[in-house]
Amino acid sequence: MRTISHFIGGKTVAGTSGRQGDVFDPNIGKVQARVDLGTVEELNHAVAVAKAAQVGWAALNPQRRARVMFELKRLIERDMDKLAHLLSSEHGKVISDAKGDIQRGLEVVEFACGIPHLLKGEYTEGAGPGIDVYSMRQPLGVVAGITPFNFPAMIPMWMFAPALACGNAFILKPSERDPSVPVALAELLLEAGLPEGVLNVVHGDKTVVDAILDHPDIRAVSFVGSSDIANYVYAKGAQNGKRMQCMGGAKNHGIILPDADLDQAVADIMGAAYGSAGERCMALPVVVPVGEATAEALRERLIAAAESLRVGVSTDPEAHYGPVVGAAHKARIEQYIQMGVDEGAELVLDGRGFKLQAHEDGFFLAPSLFDHVTADMKSYQDEIFGPVLQIVRAQTLEEAISLPSKHPYGNGVAIFTRNGDAAREFASTVEVGMVGINVPIPVPVAYHSFGGWKRSGFGDLNQYGMDGVRFYTRTKTVTQKWPKGGPVVDQSFVIPTMK
């Protein structure tokens, strides 16, 4: 049985806790590897290594740090197929989607290649008589990232690319469910020229997360995962004086106006609701048709489209999506389907009980579709995170907008329409952090930034883009004047002003 160990100081370090987590192949439902679950001492050791390595790394000029990012980009592109297969074998998403996972992280690496420009400070000449003011962005020191299972390549790269480029050392605590790709990325960073110890991977569960949150030398923590844990991590880290950025779960809505291009909208919704078996924080598990005629037309098309989807092993090039990540997660999704039935929603398509031939123990679910879901149902309010799509009917645009706005999550939302005025009103007023207009999964490009509202995001700054640079640096501002010689002309007991 393969063991996945920590990566500290540029080398593999075996765990000492005697505790390991199972890493499954979700296609066959069997354990394929075991991951070492770290201890407080192992985390402390990784931080000490990172702290020592950070000094020299930060002292390199930013162009040289950028060159490591350029080289990392080349190496990830070289290894794209290998990484995608590894990712897919532990997560269960299809290979093409696994490549998308890697690509969306790679785009943040590309952004980080511009770090010399992005780190430039500000300068004011003559802010007062003979006085100049300038500011600079300095790295924080050692920072950490805690990542979820559903994007094992993209989310670590969202975090470590800007953090490292800014001159920090990084501790990565990846999901224990699919930990191999994060280690592979750490190895590629070393090959790209990152000095040993600047990025360390410590595997684990709550023990390591708590040790990160308690460690006095870790200055900032970025977290992505479910909302209750995000809230806990945010509160504990902030209590300990750390800079915190914690992204949580989601329940994203797609609003369909009567004038939408319905065929295109249905095609978009299929990919957004069922792609990656619905295990995306920017999935679209709720559709809101406006008006009865739109609802009926949409329902008919959704049934036909969902019935034609192909569920298959993650290496099947024809499959639209693969298995979900684990048995417990599959059972949880099935419970939510039953809850929807018990709450009175109409289960139009039931994906439970699906068996893929020759892969009967794999964690597969066929598409489920609910109609007549209402806002008071728990199965609507909670994130299901599986291949389950819910139709919530609305009579007016105002009613449709109020659904995502009042929902406890506020990650992404989309509207499908040809009416620019309605779309503009929607984008301006909806209480959600990322908006798509005829775009089902509006994950912003790497030079903007990613972040949800309400229970989808705790903390101030978004992931990547300039917010990433701001998060991983602190601003120092210098006010200077130089002596001209001659008699003393200045003395004041009043707070200095520039009048």
The structure tokens listed for 250 are: 């989601």
Scanning 47-55, 81-89, 221-229, 362-370 for contacts with ligand NAD by CB under 6 A, the matching segment is: 221-229
Q: Which is nearer to ligand NAD, 57 or 464 (CB)?
A: 464
Q: Which is nearer to ligand NAD, 173 or 242 (CB)?
A: 173
Nearest-approach distance from CB 328 to ligand NAD, in angstroms: 10
**Interacting residue with ligand NAD among 165, 229, 286, 356 (CB under 6 A):** 229
β-pair type (453-454, 409-410):
antiparallel
**Interacting residue with ligand NAD among 5, 88, 147, 462 (CB under 6 A):** 147
Interface positions, 408-447, toward ligand NAD (CB under 6 A): 411
* Alpha-carbon gap, residue 426 to 419, rounded angstroms: 11
Q: Is residue 464 at the binding interface for ligand NAD, with CB under 6 A as the rule?
A: no
Residue 374, φ and ψ in degrees, nearest 5: -125, 160
Scanning 9-17, 225-233, 264-272, 394-402 for contacts with ligand NAD by CB under 6 A, the matching segment is: 225-233
Q: Which is nearer to ligand NAD, 6 or 137 (CB)?
A: 6
Binding mask 64-93 for ligand NAD (x = CB under 6 A): ------------------------------
Scanning 86-94, 109-117, 171-179, 477-485 for contacts with ligand NAD by CB under 6 A, the matching segment is: 171-179
Q: Is residue 172 at the binding interface for ligand NAD, with CB under 6 A as the rule?
A: no
Q: Is residue 452 at the binding interface for ligand NAD, with CB under 6 A as the rule?
A: yes
- Is 246 a catalytic site residue? no
Q: Is residue 154 at the binding interface for ligand NAD, with CB under 6 A as the rule?
A: no
- Among residues 113, 166, 246, 281, the one annotated as catalytic is 281
**Interacting residue with ligand NAD among 39, 150, 449, 473 (CB under 6 A):** 150
Q: Which is nearer to ligand NAD, 227 or 417 (CB)?
A: 227
**Interacting residue with ligand NAD among 89, 168, 175, 473 (CB under 6 A):** 175
Nearest-approach distance from CB 331 to ligand NAD, in angstroms: 14
* Alpha-carbon gap, residue 13 to 145, rounded angstroms: 19
3-state SS, the chain, equals CEEECEEECCEEECCCCCCEEEEEECCCCEEEEEEECCCHHHHHHHHHHHHHHHHHHHHCCHHHHHHHHHHHHHHHHHCHHHHHHHHHHHHCCCHHHHHHHHHHHHHHHHHHCCHHHHCCCEEEEEEECCEEEEEEEEECCEEEEECCCCCCCHHHHHHHHHHHHCCCEEEEECCCCCCHHHHHHHHHHHHCCCCCCCEEECCCCHHHHHHHHHCCCEEEEEEECCHHHHHHHHHHHHHCCCEEEEECCCCCEEEECCCCCHHHHHHHHHHHHHHHHHCCCCCCCEEEEECHHHHHHHHHHHHHHHHCCCECCCCCCCCCECCCCCHHHHHHHHHHHHHHHHCCCEEEECCCCCCECCECCCCCCCCEEEECCCCCCHHHHCCCCCCEEEECCECCHHHHHHHHHHCCEECEEEEECCCHHHHHHHHHHCCCCEEEECCCCCCCCCCCCECCEECCEEECCCECHHHHHHHCEEEEEEEECCCCCCCCCCCCCCCCCCC
Q: Is residue 211 at the binding interface for ligand NAD, with CB under 6 A as the rule?
A: no
Q: Is residue 471 at the binding interface for ligand NAD, with CB under 6 A as the rule?
A: no
Q: Is residue 151 at the binding interface for ligand NAD, with CB under 6 A as the rule?
A: yes
* Alpha-carbon gap, residue 324 to 147, rounded angstroms: 18
**Interacting residue with ligand NAD among 15, 148, 237, 404 (CB under 6 A):** 148
The closest residue (CB) to ligand NAD is 225
* Alpha-carbon gap, residue 200 to 182, rounded angstroms: 10
**Interacting residue with ligand NAD among 46, 118, 119, 146 (CB under 6 A):** 146
Q: Which is nearer to ligand NAD, 168 or 411 (CB)?
A: 411
Q: Is residue 209 at the binding interface for ligand NAD, with CB under 6 A as the rule?
A: yes
Nearest-approach distance from CB 228 to ligand NAD, in angstroms: 8
Q: Is residue 249 at the binding interface for ligand NAD, with CB under 6 A as the rule?
A: yes
- C-beta separation of 110 from 73 below 8 A: yes
Binding mask 265-304 for ligand NAD (x = CB under 6 A): ----------------x-----------------------
Q: Which is nearer to ligand NAD, 167 or 387 (CB)?
A: 387
Q: Is residue 176 at the binding interface for ligand NAD, with CB under 6 A as the rule?
A: yes
* Contact positions vs ligand NAD (CB under 6 A): 146-151, 173, 175-176, 205-206, 209, 224-226, 229, 247-250, 281, 383, 385, 411, 452, 456
- Catalytic center residues: 281
